[in-house]
Each structure stands twice: as structure tokens, then as C-alpha cells.
Amino acid sequence: MAQRSGPGQAALPRRGEMRRKNVRIAYLTILPVIVILLAVKAYPIIATIYRSFTNWNGLYQNDFVGLANYKEFFGSGLFMVLFKNNLVLLLSVPLQVIIGLIVAVLLYEHVPGWKAFRAIYYIPQIISLVILGYLFKSMFSLDGPVNQVLESLGLGHLAKEWLADGSTALPIMVGCITWYSIGWQTIVILGGMSSIDPCVFEAARLDGANFFQRTFKIVLPMITSVITYCIVMAVVWTFTSLFSLIYSMTGGGPGYETMTLDYMIYEKSFVTGSQLGMACTISVVLFVIIMIITAAEMKLSNMAEKKWG
Amino acid sequence: MGLTVMAKQHNPTQKFWRTFGRVVIFIILLILAISFLYPLYYMLINSLKSLSGYYVDPFGLPSEKLQWQNFATMISQFKILKLFGNSFIISFFTVLGLVAFGTVASFSFAKVDFKGKGGVYMAILATLFVPAQVTMIPMYISFAKVGLVDSYFGVILAYWAMFLPETIMLMTANFKSIPNELIEAATIDGCGYFGRLRNVVMPMGWPAISLSIIFFFICSWNDLFTPMVLLKSMDKRTVMVALSSLIGRYTGDPPYQYAGLLMSAIPALAVYAVFQKSIVKGMSMGAIK
């Protein structure tokens, strides 16, 4: 006993010392991340909020104007124009989630080659939205292939510059975004479905449930948390990540017909160049909208978990 | 007895409908797959056509001599290989930093108890949903003050800030599943902090690390907004920035445009072709968007 306690006692302080050393190293390891995020994320957010109350133009003009930018942004109707475009683009979210769910259920049947199909569906996500945007643009241009098909079908009178017309540009973009996102939705939903017991499907099939009953009455309720995740990611993504697509397809035009909140920040600050204060105001509004969506998501997914487990 | 007979009678028709259903599903999936591959095919066939060939029939295969000079011009005039080099430098160092900062920090978050861990971790994740546009203006102004505008490092630093939260979320979740016993065993064998990192965490957490490498390489390769705002001089531009100005100048020559678009897409697609399995597997966990 005495012999045993010897090394044990000697080891104890060594252990404590090592723990302290580990903690010291742990602080050192997270330090670079904290410094980078403070300098390039946290500080700019605070600066953006402060500047949103000024008439800053990037040069000499930087006076505190209170809520004037916000009043102008909401009062002039600009907010509603941009927000309406954002909302139209959001129509893509239900489309991509429903199609993604159906495709995931089809892939779940594990027909020959389903793994190859799954890999192919993800390809659009690998190609830059800049490239896809220009591709779509040339397809829908006046002498592009879409109009050629229309002419060959005898519908030549319908041919037009599709993206130069606000009433067609936005719906076309909704279609493109949906097409682009199906692969991601499918793979994530399919990943969520892998936790469902295969017996459930077999039982449903034996009970005579058809494809749509199986999809929407059995699969859907069992993966609500995955679906909420998919919806929220897609909504936030649609609000924040469409810059490349809008830039290459329409540049926000014609007029403001395809201009969204996030694109307007770029337009006000780096194109027209002088309204940095206003651009910061729009940034804050966009930021608040995204915060609300994320908070709502957390509430919803908690509710969903309570209801369906 | 009766039951078996009935089952035997039912089986062929049931089997037929089962097979029929699977054939229908296969056809639907195939059509969908073609719709996702078609744009690549479309760019390829049209990039090899002459201008008149394109306007006569944009859907058919090239009927005349293949116009390889569209690609040759891309390389000789547009210097697309130099642009690939620029993009590669930025993507490479972005990923290098993400892995260097990400693995050590995630190891600490996953396996070391220290004061304030939960709070710091939540604060890092909270920056996940901050869009790039929101921080760009003050960032640009401060970068201009310290000479980071028009430098590769400025773009790389911006990407680190943009992608580190996701990297850490992904890696920490993965590192947590490494058994503590393995780490303790390495400690007993005399491994220090970085020894444990190299001998246990790196090999065990490789799925998360490799997914971060591939995914964020592709992300930074494809991005337009950050390099377009931060890089000014022509010889530093990334391929996506250069492409966007090129396309604007050659709206009258779609085959030439398609050659550029296709070539710019190839590097990311090649990375995907090689690492497709680990990307799909990582995505299935719903790890990143």
C-alpha cells in the first residue's frame, strides 16, 4: 500500500500542473480565432450600426443624423421595393424543399445508380453562381436558345429579352435558384432520412400507402427538425448569398426590379459610391431581419421537437 | 396451405408492379440527372462552335470544324491560367489558415475544459449568420488604412473571418466523438498538446478536416463579392472577378463566353470529382451550406 501511494501522490500534482498547462495552451489556441473575428467581424458590425446613424460618404462628410437614414429608407418606399423582391425570391424555398423531399424519397428506394444520381444532383452547387448566372442570362437573351425554341414552336411572338422585363426576370430567377438548390436539399434530407427505421417504410407499403402518402404523412413528420434546418438555411441563404447570381444575371435591373436588400448595400456603397451611411442603414435592417429569422427558427424547431419528438 | 398458395399467386403481379415502380423511379431520377448535367454539356458543345454555328443551332453538336481557338484565346489573350494562379493562391492560403486555426481551436473546444468556453463558443457561432455585405463597408475602410486593400492577404483574412465559425462548428462536433481514452493514452505515451493533435486528433478527425478543406476551397474559388470589392489591380484579380468583366465585354460572342465560363468551372468541378464521396457524406450530416 505504502509503495503504491508513493507514485500516486507524486503523479497528482503533475496531473494538476498538466491540466493548468493544457488550459493555458487552450487559451492560446483560440486566441487567433478570437482576434480575427473581433477585428474582421465584431468591430465592423459595431461600426456599421454606428455609421447607420450618420450621413457618411466615405470622405469628409460624417455627421450624426439620428434616424434620418431609417426614415428615408422606410419612408421613401425603397425598403418595400427591395423587401418585396426578397420575398418573391423566397418563393423558391418551398419549391426546393418539396422537390428535394420528393427526390430524397425517390433516392431512398435505392434503385441502381442512386449514388451516382445523388452525386450529380449536387453539381450545380460546385459551379460558381457567377458562371451559372451568365449561362442563364445568355439562355434567356433576345437571340438566345429559349427564344429560338419558342420560334420553332410557332410561338415567336412571345420571344423577348426575358431578363429585361421585371415581371419575368424575378420568376426566372426563382426557377434558377430552385434548380441550383435541389441537390443540397436532397442530400441533407436524405441524410436525415437515414435515421428512420426501414421497417416503417415496409409497413407503410404493406398497408397500401401510396407514394405521396408515404412522403408527406410518414417521412415528413419523422424528419421535422431536418426540414426546419433546411428551410432556415435556405431562407438565410436567399437573403444573403445571391450577390453573384444577381450581379451576373441582371445587375439588379431593370430599374430596381430585381434589386434585393443585400445587393442594394453593394450598389449604394461601391457603385454609386457616396451613400455609405445609407448603405450601413440597409445593412442593419438586413441584419435585424436575419436575426428575427434565426430566432424564429429556434422557437419553431423547439416547438416541432416537443410536438413530434 | 391456402395462405402459401395465395402468396404464390400474388407474388408475380406484386413483383411486376414493384419492378415497374422502380423503373419509373429510375427514369424520373435519370431525367433529373440530365437536367443537372445539361448546362455543362451545353457550354461544352457551344464553346466549340463558331459564332454563326451557334446562332444556327445552339442545341446540336458542332457541325463544322471544332473551334479550339476559343480556348486558346482564353489562355493566350485572357491569361486565364494566370487568373487560376491568383484564385489558387487565395483559396490555398484561405484553407491553410482555416485548418491551422480551426483544428487547434476546435481541439480545445472539444476536449479541454476552460473558463468561459461555452460563452466564447456561442459568440463564435453567433457570427455565422452575419452576411458579408453587412461587414464589408467598415472592413474595407479599415483595410484601406492598413494597406490590406488590393492585397491577397486582405481577401484571405476576410475569408478566414467568414469561414472560421463554420469550420469550428464542424470540427468541434467531430472532435467530440474522439474517445477520451485515445487522447489519454497518447498523453501517457509522452505526447504533448501538439503531439496529441498530430497523432490522435488529425487522423481521427480527418473526415471533418478534409471536408473543410474541400468545401471552403470551392467556396473561396467561386466567390465574387469579396475579391471584387477588395482587389483593385488587374493582375491580382481572381478568375471570377475577371470573368465577370470579360463576359460584359463579349456579349456579342457567346461561344467565346462559354469557353471562359466552362474553363473557370473546371477546377472546382475537378476537386469535386476527386473528393465527391467525402463531400456528399459531409453534406448528409447537414454540416454546412
Q: Write the secondary structure of A222-255 as one string of H (helix), E (strand) and C (coil).
A: HCHHHHHHHHHHHHHHHHHCCHHHHHHHCCCCCC
How far is the alpha carbon of A77 from chain B, nearest alpha carbon, in Å? 21
All cell numbers assigned to B67? 473551334
Interface probe, candidates B32, B45, B134, chain A, greatest A C-beta count within 10 A: B134
Amino acid A102: pLDDT: 92
Contacts of A63 (CB under 8 A, 6+ apart): A54, A55
Residues A230-249 pLDDT 10s: 888 899 899 989 999 999 99
| Mutate which: A57, A118, A131, A274, vs B, most B CBs within 10 A | A131
CB nearest B261 (choices: A134, A144, A194):
A134
- What is the per-residue pLDDT for A1? 39
The pLDDT, as a whole number, for residue B1 is 38
> Domain B69-284 adopts which CATH fold?
MetI-like fold (1.10.3720)
What is the rounded distance in angstroms from the CA atom of residue A247 to the CA atom of residue A243?
6
In chain A, which residues have their Cβ closer than 8 Å to the Cβ of B135?
40-41, 44-45, 48
**Residues B189, B191, B193, B199: what is their CA dihedral angle, to the nearest 10 degrees?**
-100
Report, as an integer, the average pLDDT of A16-37. 87
Average of per-residue pLDDT across A172-185:
95
Q: Please give, rounded to a whole number of angstroms, the shortest distance from the CA of B94 to a CA of chain A.
A: 13
* Torsion-angle region of A56 (φ positive above 0: left; ψ -120 to 50: alpha; else: beta): beta
Q: Where are the domains of chain B?
A: 2-47, 69-284
CB A268 within 8 A of CB A279: yes
pLDDT at site B150: 92
Whole-prediction pTM value? 0.88
Q: What is the pLDDT of residues A49-102, one digit of tens each?
A: 999 999 888 777 788 888 889 998 999 989 999 999 999 999 999 999 999 999
Q: Is the pLDDT of residue A197 over 50?
A: yes
Q: Which pLDDT does position B13 carry in this prediction?
A: 80
CB contact under 8 A, A243 and B158: no
In the predicted model, is pLDDT for residue A45 greater than 90? Answer: yes
Here the cell at position A237 is: 441563404
Average the pLDDT over A136-162 and give the result.
85
Are the Cβ atoms of A22 and B261 closer than 8 angstroms?
A: no
- The mean of the pLDDT values for chain A is 86
Tell me how close the Cα of B251 comes to any Cα of chain A, in angstroms.
Answer: 8
Domain definitions of chain A by residue range: 1-51, 73-308
Cα distance between residue A18 and residue B172, in whole Å: 22
Q: What is the pLDDT of residue A226?
A: 86
Residues of A in contact with B114 (CB under 8 A): 23, 26-27
Averaged over A34-49, what is the pLDDT? 93
Query: In order along chain B (289 residues), what is the average pLDDT of each group of 10 residues?
Result: 45 80 91 94 90 82 82 86 94 96 93 88 87 89 92 96 93 90 87 87 89 92 93 90 85 85 93 88 68
Q: Please tell me if residue B84 touches chain A, with a CB cutoff of 8 Å.
A: no
Closest Cα partner for B241 from B226, B253, B251, B256? B226
Contact criterion met (CB < 8 Å) for A37 and B161: yes
> Could you give the percent of chain A with pLDDT greater than 70?
93
A73-308 — its CATH code?
Answer: 1.10.3720.10
Q: Which three cell numbers stand for residue B150?
A: 488590393
